[in-house]
């Protein structure tokens, strides 16, 4: 296992957050892709190689796990500029979408080809052979339905290849990805781990460790409410809903287009308008600063009411809960609306993370803690078995 590299990847509906190695590299790219052809137009190859690879991800992906094998894609920032850009649809299952796998493989390939990893992974004739110990997650609903089993076996059972086509710095390189181990964690449990433990899984928040806690994780396509009791997720009471912010962001994007004639590239652009520090809820229309407050407030308050209704129903069934933590990118978008509702209605003890990065990276950080701990224990066990075998052979 000496040449395996740790990867913790949160395939979020808005963006991919990935941590590698000893947290020596991280990636955050929009979860957007677009089908493409092998030759995409670029102005001069020299200029191409001056650009950031993350802004020009153009790949062919080969994997038996994919329904559409050997397809070519623009990924991330490059895909947001395409007319045929695809984002995950409401109602879809993360574990059953090609897009989840393509984004996962792309993130791993971008780490594998870095010069800093040339000592870890072998490279022959522009082909890098990369092995990973992966920690990732799925919505609670999908784990309860047992979809994590098939998803894990798809990843473990094959070699997956990413070929960089017209991508800055990496054009012509191929990466063969295989997994030494894959751990799939329920997203609600992962959030709890991140709240109470550090990277070595030492308890850092003793106040929370024995409390009855709810964790409402609002994502792009789903909402998970984990019920934590006796330091464990109560599987029977935890709930997952097909409700997220993506549909509302799409509605805002469409209304801005029809009312103001302004085309926004992706849902991420909408999030930026809603959450930016200065000029929040304003866009430029023909060079003039224009408020879209009426659009965003109406649509997001409607969503916040639905999210609050879920919180109320779960809290009623778990009346001895002491606090609910709102986590995930969707919570950042809905924070002010949920606070307003809570102040005027039930007045539950709810908490948000003021640090935007902490909330958005919470799942990736949790997967990192869990997979690192697994890797440490597994490496120690393997090392001890080797010693035992050597002693017996003597």
Q: Does residue 326 sit in the same domain as residue 372?
A: no
Q: Does residue 145 sit in the same domain as residue 214?
A: no
Residue 394 lies in a domain: no
Dist CA 34 CA 13 (whole Å): 15
Q: Does residue 117 sit in the same domain as residue 32?
A: yes
Asked if residues 311 and 342 have their Cβ atoms less than 8 Å apart, the reply is: no
Q: Does residue 167 sit in the same domain as residue 227?
A: no
Q: Does residue 233 sit in the same domain as residue 86?
A: no
pLDDT at 393: 58
Q: 134-175, pLDDT tens digit by residue?
A: 999 998 888 888 999 999 999 998 999 999 999 999 999 999
The domain total for the chain is 2
Residue 193 lies in a domain: no
- Phi/psi at 320 (5° precision): -90, 10
pLDDT exceeds 90 at position 50: no
> Which of 7-16, 125-134, 218-227, 379-388 has the largest mean confidence?
125-134
Q: 352-387, pLDDT tens digit by residue?
A: 876 777 778 888 999 999 999 999 988 776 655 655
Mean of pLDDT over the chain: 88
Average pLDDT over residues 25-32: 94
Dist CA 32 CA 14 (whole Å): 8
Residue 9 sits in a domain of what CATH number? 3.30.420.40
Enter the DSSP assignment of 58: E
Q: Does residue 181 sit in the same domain as residue 228?
A: no
CA dihedral of 14, 360, 112, 80, whole degrees rounded to 10: 30
pLDDT at 86: 85
Average pLDDT over residues 102-107: 98
> pLDDT higher for 86 or 381?
86
Give DSSP secondary structure letters for 110-157. Answer: HHHTSGGGTTTSEEETTEEEEEEEEEEEE-HHHHHTTHHHHHHHHHHT
pLDDT exceeds 60 at position 71: yes
Q: Does residue 371 sit in the same domain as residue 333?
A: no
Average pLDDT over residues 259-268: 88
Q: Does residue 215 sit in the same domain as residue 274?
A: yes
Residue 307 lies in a domain: yes
Q: Does residue 369 sit in the same domain as residue 309?
A: no
Residue 216 lies in a domain: yes
Report the sign of the C-alpha dihedral through residues 247, 248, 253, 256, in that order. Answer: positive
> pLDDT higher for 136 or 91?
136
What residue numbers bound the domain in which 97 lies? 4-186+365-385
pLDDT exceeds 70 at position 388: no
pLDDT at 45: 54
Per-residue confidence at 49, pLDDT binned at 50, 70, 90? confident
Q: Does residue 149 sit in the same domain as residue 8?
A: yes
> Which of 12-26, 104-118, 192-206 has the largest mean confidence?
104-118
pLDDT at 394: 57
Give DSSP secondary structure letters for 331-351. Answer: HHHHHHHHHHHHHHTT---EE
Angstrom distances, CA of residue 311 to CA of 223, 224, 225, 288: 10, 10, 8, 40
Average pLDDT over residues 26-51: 80
pLDDT at 1: 42
> pLDDT higher for 81 or 127?
127
């Amino acid at each position: 296992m000496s040449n395996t590299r740790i990867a913790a990847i949160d395939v979020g509906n808005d963006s991919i957050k990935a941590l590698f190695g000893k947290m020596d590299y991280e990636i955050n790219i929009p979860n957007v892709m677009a089908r493409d052809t092998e030759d995409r137009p670029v102005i001069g190859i020299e200029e191409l190689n001056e650009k950031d690879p993350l802004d020009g991800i153009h790949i062919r992906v080969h994997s038996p796990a994919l329904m559409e094998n050997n397809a070519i894609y623009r990924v991330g920032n490059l895909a947001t500029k395409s007319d045929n850009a695809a984002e995950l649809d409401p109602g879809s299952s993360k574990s059953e979408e090609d897009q989840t796998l393509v984004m996962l493989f792309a993130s791993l390939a971008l780490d594998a080809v870095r010069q800093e990893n040339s000592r870890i992974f072998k490279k022959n004739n522009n082909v890098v052979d990369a092995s990973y110990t992966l920690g990732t997650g799925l919505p609670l609903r999908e784990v309860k339905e047992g979809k994590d089993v098939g998803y894990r076996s798809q990843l473990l059972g094959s070699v997956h290849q990413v070929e960089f086509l017209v991508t800055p710095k990496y054009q012509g390189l191929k990466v063969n990805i295989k997994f030494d181990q894959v751990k799939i964690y329920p997203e609600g449990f992962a959030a709890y781990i991140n709240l109470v433990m550090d990277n070595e899984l030492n308890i850092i928040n003793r106040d929370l460790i024995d409390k009855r806690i709810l964790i409402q994780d609002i994502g792009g396509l789903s909402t998970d409410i984990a019920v934590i009791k006796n330091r464990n997720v109560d599987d029977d009471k935890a709930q997952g809903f097909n409700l997220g912010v993506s549909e509302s962001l799409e509605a805002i994007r469409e209304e801005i287009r029809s009312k103001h004639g302004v085309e926004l590239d992706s849902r991420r652009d909408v999030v930026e308008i809603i959450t930016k520090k200065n000029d929040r809820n304003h866009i430029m229309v023909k060079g003039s600063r224009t408020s879209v407050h009426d659009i965003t407030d109406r649509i997001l308050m409607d969503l916040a009411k639905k999210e609050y209704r879920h919180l109320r129903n779960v809290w009623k069934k778990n009346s001895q809960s002491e606090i609910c933590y709102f986590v995930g990118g969707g919570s950042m978008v809905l924070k002010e609306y949920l606070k307003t509702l809570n102040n005027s209605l039930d007045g539950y003890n709810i908490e948000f993370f003021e640090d935007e990065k902490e909330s958005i990276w919470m799942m990736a950080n949790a997967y990192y803690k869990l997979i690192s701990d697994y890797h440490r224990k597994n490496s120690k066990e393997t090392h001890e078995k080797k010693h035992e075998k050597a002693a017996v052979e003597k």
